């Protein structure tokens, strides 16, 4: 396996970084997770735009143009001869000293890891997820925008820990007003009376690339699709609930805080969107 690290492709065993890298010391950096379907990198330009916007927001200069980084990503897939893959792109502030001031870091570090995808088990899609709402919150938009995919995902890890402690598969996050925002690394949708709803991102959710693809797809398929705030109650009484994300694609939620949704089975709108999504991913990529 070849990994792109600081300007060159190196073997996996040799892909090591300094303990003085501020990505490691402070979580100072940004990242993206991207899927490859049949050798095509899905929605690459959207992921690159989000990466560069995350970097811009934290005053981090990616040392490549988008075109250069696109070529590096595509080359990572080619070199590793991957058909179905997951790519992790990391841009860290780079090596500095033990002080946290980014001024001491002279060269941002870029890492691209492309590896064989370990798919979530099929049973999970047939069974659906059990989720629970948690107390932990994502970053407040007035401090660090939830649109920044920073290397400091500690809030999301706290959320995941809470879900683990509660014995559920995934967590449901709320904002300070109690509106539902997203999962630990996925966006949420509900279906009620044949209309599909997802929270507007200004409530405090990441503008997921899968989310946006599903919004477009739902409209193309003729569903009524709305971006509107909703509460936990709306989720409890929804006809269907599902999550979307680069890793999970589209996955049904069948239980929320102990309340069964759709009699505890994945619903037909969810299944329809998942099967249509799997059709479009193959044709929407960069080769």
Residues taking part in catalysis = 149
Nearer to ligand PLP, 18 or 212 (CB): 212
Q: Minimum Å distance from CB 174 to ligand PLP? A: 14
Phi, psi at 118, each rounded to 5°: -100, 100
Nearer to ligand PLP, 5 or 205 (CB): 205
How far, CA to CA in Å, does 147 sit from each of 32, 40, 55, 238?
Answer: 12, 25, 11, 27
Q: Which of 27, 33, 102, 229 binds ligand PLP (CB under 6 A)?
A: 33
Nearer to ligand PLP, 34 or 254 (CB): 34
- Using Cβ positions, the residue closest to ligand PLP within the complex turns out to be 208
Count of positions on this chain that bind ligand PLP (CB under 6 A): 14
Q: Which of 206, 241, 250, 254 binds ligand PLP (CB under 6 A)?
A: 206
Nearer to ligand PLP, 204 or 267 (CB): 204
Q: Which of 69, 77, 209, 215 binds ligand PLP (CB under 6 A)?
A: 209
Q: Which of 73, 185, 196, 251 binds ligand PLP (CB under 6 A)?
A: 185
Q: Does 170 bind ligand PLP (CB under 6 A)?
A: no
Q: Does 96 bind ligand PLP (CB under 6 A)?
A: no
Q: Specify the stretch interacting with ligand PLP by CB under 6 A; choose among 2-10, 58-66, 205-213, 253-261.
A: 205-213
Strands 249-256 and 29-37: unpaired
Q: Does 182 bind ligand PLP (CB under 6 A)?
A: yes
- CA 250 – CA 3 distance, rounded (Å): 29
Q: Does 187 bind ligand PLP (CB under 6 A)?
A: yes
Nearer to ligand PLP, 96 or 162 (CB): 162
Q: Specify the stretch interacting with ligand PLP by CB under 6 A; choose among 121-129, 163-171, 218-226, 244-252.
A: 244-252
Q: Minimum Å distance from CB 86 to ligand PLP? A: 11
Nearer to ligand PLP, 4 or 189 (CB): 189
* HSE, side-chain direction, 13 A CA sphere, residue 98: 0
Contact 242, 251 (CB under 8 A): yes
Q: Does 285 bind ligand PLP (CB under 6 A)?
A: no
Which residues make up the interface to ligand PLP (CB under 6 A)?
Answer: 33, 156, 182, 185-187, 206, 208-211, 244-246
């Amino acid at each position: 396996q070849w990994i792109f690290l600081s300007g060159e492709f190196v073997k996996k065993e040799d892909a090591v970084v300094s303990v003085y890298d501020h990505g490691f010391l402070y979580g100072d950096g940004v990242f993206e997770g991207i899927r490859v379907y049949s050798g095509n990198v899905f929605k690459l330009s959207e992921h690159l735009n989000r990466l560069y916007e995350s970097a811009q927001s934290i005053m981090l200069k990616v040392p490549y143009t988008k075109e250069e980084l696109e070529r590096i990503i595509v080359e990572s897939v080619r070199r590793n001869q991957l058909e179905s893959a997951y790519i992790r792109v990391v841009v860290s502030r780079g090596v500095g000293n033990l002080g946290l001031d980014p001024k001491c870091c002279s060269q941002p570090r870029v890492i691209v890891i492309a590896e064989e995808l370990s798919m979530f088990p099929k049973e999970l899609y047939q069974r659906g997820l059990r989720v629970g709402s948690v107390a932990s919150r994502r970053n407040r938009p007035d401090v660090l925008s939830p649109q920044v995919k920073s290397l400091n995902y500690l809030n999301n890890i706290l959320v995941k820990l809470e879900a683990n402690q509660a014995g559920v598969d995934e967590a449901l996050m709320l904002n300070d007003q109690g509106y539902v925002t997203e999962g630990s690394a996925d966006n949420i949708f509900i279906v009620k009376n044949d209309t599909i709803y997802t929270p507007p991102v200004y409530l405090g959710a990441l503008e997921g690339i899968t989310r946006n693809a599903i919004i477009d797809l739902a409209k193309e398929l003729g569903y009524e699709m709305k971006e509107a705030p909703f509460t936990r109650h709306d989720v409890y009484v929804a006809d269907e609930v599902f999550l979307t994300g680069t890793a999970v694609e589209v996955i049904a939620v069948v239980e929320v805080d102990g309340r069964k949704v759709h009699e505890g089975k994945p619903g037909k709108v969810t299944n329809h969107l998942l099967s249509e999504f799997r059709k479009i991913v193959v044709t929407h990529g960069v080769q």
